[in-house]
Copies of this chain bind each other. A is one copy, B any other.
Amino acid sequence: MMHADFYIPTHLFFGENALNKGKDMLTAAGRHAMLVTGKQSARKSGALADVTALLKDAAITYTVFDGITENPPLLTCFEAGRLAAKEGAQFVIGIGGGSPLDAAKAIAAFAANPSLSPEDIFDDKKRINPALPIFAVPTTAGTGSEVNNYSVLTLPSGLQKKTFKAPDSWPRAAFVDPRYTATMSNDTTLSTALDAFAHAMESYLSPRSTLFSENAALFAAREIFDVISALPTTYDAEMRARLALAATAGGMAISVTGTGFPHPLGYSLTLLDGIPHGRACAVFAGDYITYNEKSESGRARIANFAAAIGAKPAVLKAFLPGVAGVSLSMTDDEIAQHVELIAGAKNYANSPYVISKEEIFEIYRAHFKTK
List A residues at the B interface (Cβ < 8 Å): 1-16, 21, 176, 211, 215, 219, 241, 245, 248
Indicate whether A5 sits within 8 Å of B1 (C-beta atoms), given known contacts A211-B245, A245-B211.
no
* Extra 12 A-B pairs, beta carbons < 8 Å, given A3-B14, A4-B176: A1-B15, A1-B241, A2-B14, A2-B241, A5-B12, A5-B14, A6-B11, A6-B12, A7-B12, A9-B9, A211-B219, A215-B215
A15 to B4, Cβ gap below 8 A? yes
Q: Interface majority SS on A: helix, strand, loop or mixed?
A: mixed
**A8, B5: Cβ atoms under 8 Å?**
no
Sample 9 A-B pairs with CB under 8 A, ordered by A number: A2-B245, A3-B14, A4-B176, A4-B245, A4-B248, A6-B11, A7-B12, A9-B9, A211-B219
- Shortest distance in angstroms between A188's beta carbon and chain B's nearest beta carbon? 22
Query: With a CB–CB cut-off of 8 A, which chain B residues contact A241?
Result: 1-2
Cα–Cα distance between A10 and B16 once the two chains are bound (Å): 27
Q: How far is the CA of A8 from the CA of B12 in the complex (A)?
A: 10
**CB pair A6 B8 closer than 8 Å:** yes
B13 touches A5 (CB 8 A): yes
| Chain B residue at smallest Cβ distance from A170 | B9
Shortest beta-carbon distance, A78 to chain B, in Å? 29
Contact residues in B for A219 (Cβ distance below 8 Å):
211, 215
A180 to chain B, nearest CB (A): 14
CB proximity of A16 to chain B, nearest CB, Å: 5
CB distance from A166 to the nearest CB of B (A): 15
Q: How far is the CA of A15 from the CA of B241 in the complex (A)?
A: 35
Shortest Cβ gap from A46 to chain B (Å): 17
- Which residues on B sit within 8 Å (CB–CB) of A215? 215, 219
CB of A14 within 8 A of CB of B8, answer no
- Cβ–Cβ contact B4 & A14, under 8 A: yes
Closest 3 pairs between A and B when the two form their complex, measured CB to CB? A4-B14, A6-B12, A7-B11
Instruction: Using CB atoms, name the residue of chain B closest to A172.
Output: B9
A3 vs B219: C-alpha distance when bound (angstroms): 15
Q: Which residues of B contact A10 (CB under 8 A)?
A: 7
What separation, in Å, do the CA atoms of A3 and B17 have in the docked complex?
12
Q: What chain B residues lie within 8 Å of A9 (beta carbons)?
A: 9, 11
Residue of B nearest to A17 (CB): B1
Q: A215-B219, A219-B211 are in contact. Are A6 and B14 (CB under 8 A)?
A: yes
A12 and B16 contacting across the interface, CB-CB below 8 Å: no
Q: How far is the CB of A245 from chain B (nearest CB, A)?
A: 5
A16 to B14 CA separation, bound complex (whole angstroms)? 35
Residue ID in chain B nearest A14 by CB atoms: B4
CB nearest neighbor in B for A8 = B8
Query: Closest residue to A7 on the B side, CB-wise?
Result: B11
Most chain B beta-carbon neighbours within 10 Å: one of A21, A176, A215: A215
Identify the closest chain B residue to A9 (Cβ). Answer: B9
